[in-house]
Chains A and B, each alone.
Chain A
């Protein structure tokens, strides 16, 4: 007690005659905190700022360590094979390279990897033009008060839980598209190489194109708000100069605004791609969540890595050797690895275009 008192007041203990009560203790505590406040802020902040770094490192470490036996056993087949067989989980356990796994288990995640890439590419193809158009409309063409409201709506879209978007996609959008839209497209597509992918049976609305559309909806807020902010940073003089030369809005947009922030848009697209690749719940609800099928045409049911991670959890528990859980961890390693690269690239590109005072220098 005496030492605390001295630390708190810096005076000799004997000089004070306060009764030892809760109030005194609190007051001394407060005095101590106040005197050391800068240190507390610095050290508290330093510790807290380390949390994301530690969490990121642990995430990669835990996943890799857990997945390591599965990586060894599944080998390259995991990336190119097209089967997802847990094997006989109630039967004999066999050992490969000292790793226990059920007899007959064989994991190839190529359909999941392909499905992830396909659905994300569809989402990007839809979302980028829509986002750029939205950004144009929000920065140039609409009264400010309306633009503010619409911007809020888009930001709210970014916050709507993915399970609700999945519910809407599975119960409302999917059936609507499958009944009224897909058959029309499928019937009118010519039977030539690229377009034939749009022909054939249209299934029930759970599938690749529906997933792509739902994903596009979920990444539009990211791309659109980033692009809008980039557009707002383009200085007005070059645009006004273009207009003074008699360029139309379209020409000003195509030749001045977009070239000015082109790499920023690419960066925003990468961020959106990252979100699309990792989106889980909504895709699990609208894709059909298959494990070993690549969609035969653009309407076909399929699955993605993230969706498999959430739908296969229950079945993974039935594997007594724990090998399926390790395989799921391997799947997560693949996903996280791809996403780290995509996100870092995106942020690098955006940072490089962060300061836009420099002239366009693109020859326009």
Chain B
């Protein structure tokens, strides 16, 4: 696995035992670092699975939470509703923003690059911690607008959180569309909007879907902002945007894991497992799409 360096006899760098030892230490160190990073990925997942499996019962999927016991149907459905809402809200806004930044914000009439402020704001927003966004959602939406713990407040906060990722992913995907495609579309006389829809967006589609899936994985695993905006609800989600709290899978994990009862612990572990499965499905799908499309792309990235 480790390629041996071919030492070339040279006056500039004479061989010595010390240099050789440093080189070996470096390689071992690099591989050890890699192991240190990869091992916990497996460990965390195995741990979540190992905690949930011994007490797993399928009824968790179809019964709702009662106090600290019962099942997780309400939380699973709530998370799915939230994901769907984020997909619609953040997906629309994020993709449109990415399209604008990549296609329309090029050079202004005066020749200066436009959209720099917008792009900077997008980047900085992705660095604001989710708990701060959640607190703002609580202060502005839940209490300020008197929406109460509600689906809409949670959706807005989660969307604001992931829009930067989607916008950035869309922009990157659009920039990787070969220039010849655009020129070809133009040469065929396509109107700009038609070319954008039928040629450019279609080519960039896998990249956009990938960023959407990653955004969904992030929002599905989020806890802190939801505690402030979605509250917690033990019934199945209701068709109401306002004044109606909603359950979600991270809540039982965060709340029940240190309750003094086994029943609560099992519920937390089950929720962790279901959450892990949902997030992994999203992430692995995204990864597969990336690999598939890169294989057929014109130029592979280094």
Chains A and B come from one and the same complex = yes
Do residues A278 and B41 form an inter-chain contact, with CB atoms below 8 A? no
Do residues A246 and B221 form an inter-chain contact, with CB atoms below 8 A? no
Do residues A160 and B140 form an inter-chain contact, with CB atoms below 8 A? no
Given contacts A153-B38, A343-B127, contact A160 B221 (CB under 8 A): yes
Do residues A246 and B7 form an inter-chain contact, with CB atoms below 8 A? yes
Q: Is A152 part of the binding interface, using a Cβ–Cβ cutoff of 8 Å?
A: yes
Residues of chain B lying within 8 A (CB to CB) of residue A178: none
Shortest Cβ distance from A41 into B: residue: B193
Q: Is B78 part of the binding interface, using a Cβ–Cβ cutoff of 8 Å?
A: no
Given contacts A41-B196, A49-B100, contact A248 B19 (CB under 8 A): yes
Residues of chain A lying within 8 A (CB to CB) of residue B105: 49
Residues of chain B lying within 8 A (CB to CB) of residue A246: 7-10, 12-15
Q: Is A103 part of the binding interface, using a Cβ–Cβ cutoff of 8 Å?
A: no
Residues of chain A lying within 8 A (CB to CB) of residue B155: none
Residues of chain A lying within 8 A (CB to CB) of residue B7: 246, 248
Shortest Cβ distance from B19 into A: residue: A248
Residues of chain A lying within 8 A (CB to CB) of residue B20: 248
Q: Is B241 part of the binding interface, using a Cβ–Cβ cutoff of 8 Å?
A: no
Q: Is B275 part of the binding interface, using a Cβ–Cβ cutoff of 8 Å?
A: yes
The CA of A148 and the CA of B300, in the complex, are separated in Å by 13
Question: How many residues of B are counted as interface, with CB atoms below 8 angstroms from the partner's CB atoms?
Answer: 108
Do residues A52 and B23 form an inter-chain contact, with CB atoms below 8 A? no
Selected interface stretch from A24-32, A53-61, A74-82: A53-61
Majority-rule SS of B interface residues: helix
Q: Among A44, A162, A232, A310, which residue has the most Cβ atoms of chain B within 10 A?
A: A310
Majority-rule SS of A interface residues: helix
Residues of chain A lying within 8 A (CB to CB) of residue B15: 246
Selected interface stretch from B58-66, B67-75, B90-98: B90-98
Q: Is A42 part of the binding interface, using a Cβ–Cβ cutoff of 8 Å?
A: yes
Do residues A152 and B47 form an inter-chain contact, with CB atoms below 8 A? no
| A335 smallest CB distance to B (angstroms) | 6
Cβ-neighbour of A340 out of B19, B124, B284 (below 8 A): B124
Cβ-neighbour of B118 out of A50, A164, A172 (below 8 A): A50
Cβ-neighbour of B99 out of A41, A132, A157, A244 (below 8 A): A41
Residues of chain A lying within 8 A (CB to CB) of residue B275: 161, 163-164
Shortest Cβ distance from A342 into B: residue: B127
Residues of chain A lying within 8 A (CB to CB) of residue B51: 171
Cβ-neighbour of A130 out of B37, B115, B160 (below 8 A): B37
The CA of A142 and the CA of B27, in the complex, are separated in Å by 11
Shortest Cβ distance from B25 into A: residue: A250
Do residues A38 and B44 form an inter-chain contact, with CB atoms below 8 A? no
Q: Is B178 part of the binding interface, using a Cβ–Cβ cutoff of 8 Å?
A: no
Cβ-neighbour of A159 out of B129, B217, B258 (below 8 A): B217
| A26 smallest CB distance to B (angstroms) | 18
The CA of A306 and the CA of B34, in the complex, are separated in Å by 29
Residues of chain B lying within 8 A (CB to CB) of residue A137: 30-31, 33-34
Do residues B37 and A157 form an inter-chain contact, with CB atoms below 8 A? yes
Do residues A49 and B96 form an inter-chain contact, with CB atoms below 8 A? yes
Cβ-neighbour of B30 out of A34, A133, A340 (below 8 A): A133
Residues of chain A lying within 8 A (CB to CB) of residue B129: 277-280, 306, 335-336, 339
Residues of chain B lying within 8 A (CB to CB) of residue A224: 37
Q: Is B131 part of the binding interface, using a Cβ–Cβ cutoff of 8 Å?
A: yes
Given contacts A170-B257, A253-B26, contact A160 B117 (CB under 8 A): no
Residues of chain A lying within 8 A (CB to CB) of residue B224: 280-281, 306, 309-310
| A57 smallest CB distance to B (angstroms) | 8
| A140 smallest CB distance to B (angstroms) | 8
Given contacts A55-B125, A148-B291, A280-B130, contact A245 B10 (CB under 8 A): yes
Q: Is B29 part of the binding interface, using a Cβ–Cβ cutoff of 8 Å?
A: yes
Do residues B96 and A48 form an inter-chain contact, with CB atoms below 8 A? yes
Q: Is B48 part of the binding interface, using a Cβ–Cβ cutoff of 8 Å?
A: yes
The CA of A330 and the CA of B181, in the complex, are separated in Å by 51
Given contacts A48-B97, A49-B115, A246-B9, contact A329 B135 (CB under 8 A): yes
Do residues B30 and A136 form an inter-chain contact, with CB atoms below 8 A? yes
Residues of chain B lying within 8 A (CB to CB) of residue A121: none
Q: Is B203 part of the binding interface, using a Cβ–Cβ cutoff of 8 Å?
A: no
The CA of A160 and the CA of B40, in the complex, are separated in Å by 11
Given contacts A41-B104, A156-B283, A249-B23, contact A313 B192 (CB under 8 A): no
Q: Is B5 part of the binding interface, using a Cβ–Cβ cutoff of 8 Å?
A: yes
Interface string of A290-320 (1 = CB under 8 A from B): 0000000000000000100110010000000
Cβ-neighbour of A142 out of B1, B8, B96, B276 (below 8 A): B1
| A296 smallest CB distance to B (angstroms) | 23
| B196 smallest CB distance to A (angstroms) | 6
A selection of 13 A-B contacts at a CB cut-off of 8 Å is A41-B104, A50-B118, A52-B121, A53-B117, A130-B33, A131-B33, A131-B37, A134-B36, A143-B1, A154-B37, A159-B279, A164-B272, A285-B257
Chain B residues at the A interface, C-beta cutoff of 8 Å: 1-3, 5-10, 12-15, 19-20, 22-23, 25-27, 29-34, 36-38, 40-45, 47-48, 51, 92-97, 99-101, 103-105, 115, 117-118, 120-125, 127-133, 135-136, 139-140, 144, 160, 163-164, 167, 191-194, 196-197, 214, 217-218, 220-224, 227-228, 250, 253-254, 257-258, 268, 272, 275-276, 279-280, 282-284, 287, 291, 302
Q: Which 7 A-B pairs have the closest CB atoms?
A: A161-B221, A45-B100, A133-B33, A278-B129, A37-B193, A343-B127, A48-B96
Chain A residues at the B interface, C-beta cutoff of 8 Å: 34, 37-38, 40-42, 44-53, 55-56, 58-59, 62-63, 66, 129-134, 136-138, 140-143, 146, 148, 150, 152-157, 159-168, 170-172, 217, 220-221, 224, 232-233, 243-251, 253, 271, 274, 277-281, 285, 306, 309-310, 313, 325, 328-329, 332, 335-336, 339-340, 342-344, 347
